[in-house]
A and B are shown apart, each in its own frame.
Chain A
């Protein structure tokens, strides 16, 4: 009926290149908050394996809490209905954006405001934490690559914080 609408993101589409680090906006993806009484209930419903240990990420599913998982996928898949089951699936695709920090200074830039010891943060780990006063989820893809999930309204601030730190 009309032209496709354009998405509007809170940070520039052009990556920021600093010394030793590049900061960029990840492509849009589907995100679901998966909640369940047990991991088994979720596995049965979704027919996938989910990690049982908090902060472990397997195949795009991060275990954030004892009954909470975050599913992130670039493939558009219909989610099954959880009606009647002790399971809750909520779409949160647009709640956050994902910033990617890549380069030898990636951990250093994150640690300018994140109190976790990222020297001892294994590849593949993902956890909810905080950067100064802003809640984030960090996922380490590689020694020098982190994904940082941040709610949209805080994203512009976090972008400024990261790019300022990266330019020093």
Chain B
């Protein structure tokens, strides 16, 4: 069970307090109606599956309740960093 640093609580907490919430920085288009079918399909379904650095979202669901972003290495499972929602991609 890994430890995850919650950027809101500012401490490392056990993994079972958290839930993964998929890839990070996939913003909902501001005007969905203007999206082409292809653009919308990309937004809905197309996700990165990198070997190595991966930007993803987690939620400290059994803690402060906040969604935040993280950079995790998919090979080593180590977290490089975590940062608050809304902060620029790291």
Contact = CB atoms under 8 A, between A and B. Distances in A.
Direct A–B touching in the complex (beta carbon < 8 Å)? Answer: yes
A64 B61 CA distance: 11
A116 B9 CA distance: 14
B14 A116 contact: yes
Interface residues of A, number: 13
Contacts of A128: 62-65
Contact of A54 (B1, B9, B17): B9
Interface residues of B, number: 13
User: Do most interface residues of chain B lie in helix, strand or loop, or is the interface mixed?
Assistant: loop
Contacts of B10: 54
A135 B1 CA distance: 17
B16 A130 contact: yes
A129 B8 contact: no
A65 B14 contact: no
A136 B37 CA distance: 44
A55 B8 CA distance: 11
A130 B65 contact: no
B66 interface: yes
Given A54-B8, A54-B9, A127 B14 contact: no
B62 A66 contact: no
Interface of B: 1, 8-10, 13-14, 16-17, 62-66
16 contacts: A54-B9, A54-B10, A54-B64, A55-B9, A65-B8, A66-B66, A68-B65, A115-B14, A115-B16, A127-B63, A128-B62, A128-B63, A129-B17, A129-B62, A129-B63, A130-B17
